[in-house]
Structure 1
Amino acid sequence: MSGGPVVNSGRAIADLRELDRRTGGTDGAQRLCWGDGWREARALLGELLGEIGLTAEPDPAGNLWASLEGEQEPALALGSHLDSVPEGGWLDGALGVMAALGVLRAWSEAGVPPPRTLMLVDWADEEGARFGRSLFGSSAFSGALDPAEVRGLRDREGGMLVDVLAQNGVDLDRAPEAASRQERLAAYLELHIEQGPVLEAEGLRAAAVSGCAGVERHRFHFSGQASHAGTTPMDRRRDAGLAAAEYALRVEEIGRRHGGVATTGALALRPGIPTAVAGEAELLIDLRHPQAEELASMLAEALAAAEAVAAKRGCEHASEPVWRIEPIPFDSRLIAAAREACREAAGSDRVLTSGALHDAAEVARVLPAAMVFCPSTSGISHAKQEDTPEPDLATGIEAFGLLANRVLSDPPTGMRAHGLHAERVEQLHERREVRVLGRPPNDRAAAPLELEVRARGHAQVREQGEQVLDPHQPQPGEDRPAPRGQLLERGAKPVQLGRVKPQPRGVAAAVPLIQLHGTVLKHGEALVDGRRTTEDAVADEDAGSTSAFVFR
């Protein structure tokens, strides 16, 4: 039996029922992020935290945090999200938040501090249902959020994301400051419903999760010619609506062919009346696959299919990326601990890969992370019919509590170091080199970790947490690049090569992860033209690549 207090699963389920009573109804959960129902859900969470003497505070990205002080840091973070899709289910995300609250409550009521600080987090806008950009808060935490990429997003009513954030006390330009909390955390755990049929079909009550599938989300526009529905001959039409419909079927075929999933989740026609041929059509597609290579192939085929359909229907087409995330594996040591917890609570150590997206995927870019799944009745989620039998919820909550206690009492060592020291990141084109100057493996007293960037004879050194900028030219009269913080221009666009990731206090790690162009690289990984791949694959890349980095 794992050390630590037992989570009261009955109380956690009662909290979920109360949340559903306040923010749900006959049409399902109504907790669309940044809206009234979501704020009511957070108010309830604040009340429940207050019962155990804790308060919640937001970070610059709108994530909500509460902390139960332990004997040491870095802390263990537990959580999920309270926001829902419109007319969604009562458990999606909320289960993980209330289970995390249950762990904090159990330790608070035990009367002894946990072995390390516990933090509860409710991530902001996991769903992305309003603006199409999922994992807003957790991507700000991981450092993957670029305010410039989302600044122009609008909802269906034309509301601007930047304005809606401001109404909720979030300054978009300051949202990336949420990443500063990384320094205080050692690992992240999340409980979630499966949102699929596998566990129920196999008669299992809980499972460990190996990671999350990658996602490519894109918006496609087809432009034809609006015309009279009664007088335009069928063979003279340039029907954007039919182009969109045919394209949606092509997207479905792509998902089936690659063993992934492909969804057309939104479709709008203009002028949108029965007496006119549609002159404009817009649709939003979502492609997912657990393998990066297959996902890239799916996207390439989807782009080619749009061109083919547009030509066939006499339409023009355009597309724009909305959001993407590569397949993310979870920490192998934490997966093993999750399997042990599930075996103890549910009698099975089944491991699944999640086809759904979760905040843990973003967090896993920068912290060891793991998840536990509960079964979903009939595999239904993102709908008011979403449900899980209470005995299965109780088992999942028990497994999650066991996992949390295991990590608290026996955390993996060197969590964020990945066993590296004095490694380097090398850019293979344009004569640039990024070098990590690491401390010796067991030297706690060494100087802070540094990153050296060299280009055409010039160099700059940055400590962990500082920006690494493109040293394209020295400043006038100087033989070195601009000082810290000044962006050097190439043409009109400044280029940021990377950032040395900070490490948590108390961890004698040898070298940090490296973040390049918003992507965090681990040992043996590479970034080629903005796409993460493996070092071994770099040699096979097209010789025309304009930007390639390898973390060796």
Structure 2
Amino acid sequence: MWRSLRPIGRSDASGGYRRYAWTGADADCRLWFRMQAEARRLDVETDRNGNQWAWLGDPAAGDAVVTGSHLDSVPDGGAFDGPLGVVSAFAALDELRARGVSFRRPLAIVNFGDEEGARFGLACVGSRLAAGQLTKEKAFELRDADGISLPEAMEAAGHDPESIGADPERLARVGAFVELHVEQGRALDLSGDPVGIASAIWPHGRWRLDFHGEANHAGTTRLVDRRDPMLPYAETVLAARRAAELEGAVATFGKIAVEPNGVNAIPSLVRGWLDLRAADEATLSATLGGIHTAALEHAERHGVDLALTRESYTPVIDFQDALRDELARILAGSLGKVPVLGTGAGHDAGILSASVPTAMLFVRNPTGVSHSPAESAAEDDCVAGVRALADVLEDLACR
């Protein structure tokens, strides 16, 4: 499975992946998912929001056990973030069948659409729509860097955008959702454990800062006459780092757009996107406040206007104690005491946690690197993850 998935959407130049929502690479990933499901005699369907489901048993029976993740990527992302959970889900089903177990609850494997938000700027679009956390109206406003709207992209890929929206009936069929994911940090590497259990997802969000200045000639405009938005933007990037260090948060400016974007032109607009995460909402709020205040001060000093827009926000998510503790009990027999750890990364499991009982398993990442071609996981650890997931699914769906 891993060998067949690995080439899809891979850039020869960077070695990373460019699997963006509703593109050719995304279509190839969806075809791969369908082929894997059909090879295992699973019933495949795509829901109204573009999420793929592969069913063993009758979905209408309810109380289903669901596992899976996503197949899309960030720009030049790694091979494991998302796909490891989908590959492991199919492999866990193979393991359960090899064990000869009988299923008493329906089982589904899911591939959520547009989890990374790389194309339209909002993460977890597929699961947010299903859970009613993103309205159809707001979804229709999303546009990519080329100005193509989400509904236009969906329609071009053969999906009806008019059908998107909250899907409570589908989620009501789910009794538990367990997502396996490569760890996006080094906690397991430092503890020496191949597998961990998630305790919570940090609150996190994305904000857009628009610095509006005045376009002018780079060679003839005196420094004192300039209203250059690049200067307060650059100073705000440094201020964000200082604020995050002070509050114990993490702040990142990883995307920027400049107009008119000419080498010999002073910009009229610098637009930067801030990714901000912290262990609790008070810390996140304090860090954002510090960054915003600094940005306003720098903008005013350079004669530049500033607009701050929140594009997405996810509050702290504590995974359900009962299901989390059940996973720990199940895995104690084979792995002993499994570490429980929080994460600063967002996931579909976090979005669904408000609607269905959810839990997460992490597989060790020896470097801690993620959202990069250097992202990795050892084969032995991946196998340990599959066996752990199979143990969990067997206990939840077969006993």
TM-score category, normalised to shorter length: over 0.9
Choose from 332, 354, 357 the match for 2:321. 332
1:218 and 1:285 in contact (8 A); partners too: yes
Q: Report 1:462-473 matches (<5 A).
A: none
SS of the aligned residue for 2:204 comes to: strand
Structure 1 counterpart of 2:229: 240
Structure 1 counterpart of 2:18: 30
Distance 1:256 1:346 in 2: 36
Larger Rg: 1 or 2? 1
- Classify 1:251/1:34 alpha carbon distance in 2 versus 1 (closer, same or farther; 3 Å): same
Distance 1:399 1:107 in 2: 11
SS of the aligned residue for 2:7 comes to: helix
SS of the aligned residue for 1:296 comes to: helix
- 1:172 Cα offset (Å): 3.9
1:20 and 1:29 in contact (8 A); partners too: no
Q: Does 1:77 align with 2:66?
A: yes
Q: Does 1:17 align with 2:6?
A: no
Amino acid in structure 2 at the alignment position of 1:43? L
SS of the aligned residue for 2:255 comes to: strand
- 1:199 Cα offset (Å): 1.4
1:207 and 1:348 in contact (8 A); partners too: no
Choose from 168, 177, 180 the match for 1:179. 168
SS of the aligned residue for 1:378 comes to: coil
Amino acid in structure 2 at the alignment position of 1:20? R
SS of the aligned residue for 1:298 comes to: helix
- 1:112 Cα offset (Å): 5.3
Q: Does 1:145 align with 2:131?
A: no
Distance 2:381 2:236 in 1: 40
Q: Does 1:286 align with 2:272?
A: no
Amino acid in structure 1 at the alignment position of 2:34? G
Choose from 375, 379, 382 the match for 1:390. 379
Greater CA deviation, 326-335 or 299-308? 299-308
Greater CA deviation, 224-233 or 210-219? 224-233
Distance 2:211 2:301 in 1: 12
- 1:107 Cα offset (Å): 4.1
- 1:298 Cα offset (Å): 2.4
Amino acid in structure 2 at the alignment position of 1:40? D
Distance 2:283 2:147 in 1: 35
Structure 1 counterpart of 2:53: 65
Q: Report 1:413-452 matches (<5 A).
A: none
- Classify 1:136/1:321 alpha carbon distance in 2 versus 1 (closer, same or farther; 3 Å): same
Distance 2:289 2:159 in 1: 36
Distance 1:22 1:266 in 2: 24
SS of the aligned residue for 1:180 comes to: helix
Structure 2 counterpart of 1:259: 248
User: Structure 1, residues 514-542: CA drift from partner, whole Å, max 9, x if none?
Assistant: xxxxxxxxxxxxxxxxxxxxxxxxxxxxx
- 1:209 Cα offset (Å): 0.3
1:16 and 1:90 in contact (8 A); partners too: no
SS of the aligned residue for 2:241 comes to: helix
Distance 1:30 1:315 in 2: 35
SS of the aligned residue for 2:164 comes to: helix
Amino acid in structure 2 at the alignment position of 1:59? D
Work out the number of aligned pairs and report it: 396
Q: Does 1:407 align with 2:396?
A: yes
Amino acid in structure 2 at the alignment position of 1:53? R
Structure 2 counterpart of 1:498: none
Greater CA deviation, 143-152 or 191-200? 143-152
Q: Does 1:40 align with 2:28?
A: yes
- 1:105 Cα offset (Å): 3.1
Distance 2:44 2:241 in 1: 43
Structure 2 counterpart of 1:203: 192
2:92 and 2:387 in contact (8 A); partners too: no
- 1:265 Cα offset (Å): 1.4
Q: Does 1:371 align with 2:360?
A: yes
1:223 and 1:281 in contact (8 A); partners too: yes
- Classify 1:173/1:321 alpha carbon distance in 2 versus 1 (closer, same or farther; 3 Å): farther
Q: Does 1:53 align with 2:52?
A: no
Q: Report 1:324-363 matches (<5 A).
A: 324-363=313-352
2:96 and 2:394 in contact (8 A); partners too: no
SS of the aligned residue for 2:273 comes to: strand
Q: Structure 2: state its 5+ residue gaps.
A: none
Choose from 293, 302, 305 the match for 2:294. 305
Amino acid in structure 2 at the alignment position of 1:89? G
SS of the aligned residue for 1:255 comes to: helix
SS of the aligned residue for 1:56 comes to: strand
User: Structure 1, residues 145-172: CA drift from partner, whole Å, max 9, x if none?
Assistant: 1122232222111211121122234444
Amino acid in structure 2 at the alignment position of 1:340? R
Q: Report 1:487-506 matches (<5 A).
A: none
User: Structure 1, residues 332-362: CA drift from partner, whole Å, max 9, x if none?
Assistant: 1121122234444444421111111100000
- 1:173 Cα offset (Å): 4.4
- Classify 1:16/1:348 alpha carbon distance in 2 versus 1 (closer, same or farther; 3 Å): farther
Amino acid in structure 2 at the alignment position of 1:21? P
SS of the aligned residue for 1:30 comes to: coil
Which TM-score applies when normalising by structure 2?
Answer: 0.93
1:208 and 1:352 in contact (8 A); partners too: yes
- 1:21 Cα offset (Å): 3.0
Structure 2 counterpart of 1:226: 215
2:20 and 2:119 in contact (8 A); partners too: yes
Q: Does 1:162 align with 2:151?
A: yes
User: Structure 1, residues 76-109: CA drift from partner, whole Å, max 9, x if none?
Assistant: 1111001112221111101111112223334455
Q: Report 1:75-154 matches (<5 A).
A: 75-108=64-97, 113-154=102-143
Distance 1:179 1:285 in 2: 32
Distance 1:234 1:25 in 2: 41
Distance 1:318 1:24 in 2: 36
Q: Which has the higher contact order (CA 8 A, sep 6+)?
A: 2
Distance 2:226 2:9 in 1: 47
1:229 and 1:277 in contact (8 A); partners too: yes
- For the aligned residues, what is the CA RMSD? 2.0
- Classify 1:171/1:319 alpha carbon distance in 2 versus 1 (closer, same or farther; 3 Å): farther
Amino acid in structure 1 at the alignment position of 2:380? P
Q: Structure 1: state its 5+ residue gaps.
A: 1-14, 411-552
Distance 1:256 1:174 in 2: 44
Distance 1:216 1:62 in 2: 23
Choose from 270, 274, 279 the match for 2:263. 274
Identity %: 32
User: Structure 1, residues 396-443: CA drift from partner, whole Å, max 9, x if none?
Assistant: 221122122222256xxxxxxxxxxxxxxxxxxxxxxxxxxxxxxxxx
